[in-house]
Structure 1
């Protein structure tokens, strides 16, 4: 079996509000120059969990010759961190920095045609980007996301009420006392994640590695989101792209899992407002179908992108 070409580098990202030069770390699997397939840019979740949970998408390169472009968004992983901006408000911590970073990376790579896959948070700012009808965007994939934080948190709280009562009680107690960084709260969240984030046991190392970045530098997540999936107190609390979804005119594929954090109630406003949409659900998956139903996931995404 031949080894896929992999290229890693940094791209300059000029974003004046940051007050310093920024770098975006990225990785390309496959060959942008020789492949006839349109490259696929991956927008990772979080915010702030990094790109390693999407390494498995190299399967698309092997099977369909699709070049995969992964990158760590600024504020996490191998890209420039922004700890000094923790006290900055919504004027800085909004989706514009991430849309601008994506636009900068596309320009850096000289892409004239590309596809985009946004997962969870990645599909939130990715939808803002796609609604601008950027030149070169051919197809768009929305995976396990929501077009507003209200829809997202409503869904999370419905799922929360399905958990064992002792888990719910622990969450309630810690949130009331402000001890969401405690070990007992994290253990309760660990149970939640085992039901609705990834149902594989053990959880794949690449997912754990991505989640570990939140502990290494919680700046982006804690500032924009808050203490947990259920309690969005950061700058994104009123975020919505609902009124812009209809502007996404390229063919769009919606993906979610039966046990997903992104239940149908979170995704439906995408489907009803998109002009050209197809929706596929993975019956045995939660939030990480690329691992939980890997073969079927790659077949559905690969065929849709190359059809």
Structure 2
């Protein structure tokens, strides 16, 4: 697969800041291209997890090659933003993260027009935001996301059934015993991730940094998702936006990978129910095509953004 090293190397400067959000702080990274183009609207990048932090999405900064600003931020509870390991489970809601994003958009003065790009969990958060705050969103890119957690779990189970029987039995045994932190279980998780999360070998440092962030503070991921991608026990277990997608008015690009852990049934409702939508699949990629096939990702998404500037 392609190297990511040169694709995100766009001339420009980076500005970081912290924005107050209630009693907490949201850390923001703004990329300003060396040759800004006033006709190009900024794009706000929503990372996955929840709780993965922005690091693994930095390569998306290559979208600044045509003169647009690219905004990354760490969602509450991870990365450089406020950490709240003692917050109760009911604190961590979809509405919390919608409110945090709205606070960011307002404080950065983006309401005159911006693009929204969400990856994985970020592609769940993006339509939730657009349904509540459609003003200013010129387009929405949903990269490797899901419209329903039950449908996502259905696809994950299909992938698990394709694994060797002894592996399936080990997973079931460890989950029954509650030992999902055992070396055996984590080894199986790693095998799964290298097939369906990122197929590069070795993994890029930015991706390793995001996974390290979750290991250092698993509060958000553990509370909202669970111990791993195929053990969904968190507060998002029954989440679905399928029945509300008819209300999305923003032009939408849906992205998926050939070997993606988010199987077609998970993202198909986006394509079937959003009025103005197109879809692109990255051959040979899995869940993180902006790292696995960066040149194609930048070309496809860049063209879509320019169409809606």
TM-score, with length taken from structure 2: 0.93
Moved over 3 A (4+): 31-35
Matched with 1:144 is 144
Whether the 8 Å CA contact 1:128–1:244 is kept in 2: the answer is no
State how far apart, in whole Å, the 1-side matches of 2:296 and 2:221 are.
31
Matched with 1:172 is 172
Note closer, same or farther for the CA distance 1:272–1:77 as it changes in structure 2 (3 Å cut): same
Matched with 2:95 is 96
Matched with 1:105 is 104
The one of 84, 87, 91 aligned to 2:86: 84
Note closer, same or farther for the CA distance 1:253–1:124 as it changes in structure 2 (3 Å cut): same
Write the deviation string for residues 202-240 of structure 1: whole angstroms up to 9, x where unpaired: 111111111111110000011111122222211111111
Matched with 1:5 is 13
Whether the 8 Å CA contact 1:145–1:266 is kept in 2: the answer is yes
Matched with 1:190 is 190
Whether the 8 Å CA contact 2:249–2:274 is kept in 1: the answer is yes
Give the Å deviation of 1:3. 3.3
Matched with 2:235 is 235
Q: Which runs of 5+ in 1 are unaligned?
A: 15-20
Give the Å deviation of 1:89. 3.5
State how far apart, in whole Å, the 1-side matches of 2:42 and 2:269 are.
27
State how far apart, in whole Å, the 2-side matches of 1:32 and 1:242 are.
41
Give the Å deviation of 1:242. 1.2
RMSD value over aligned CA atoms? 1.6
Matched with 1:17 is none
TM-score, with length taken from structure 1: 0.93
Give the Å deviation of 1:156. 0.8
Give the Å deviation of 1:183. 1.5
Matched with 2:4 is none
Whether the 8 Å CA contact 1:133–1:249 is kept in 2: the answer is no
Whether the 8 Å CA contact 1:143–1:256 is kept in 2: the answer is yes
In the alignment of these two chains, the number of paired residues is 297
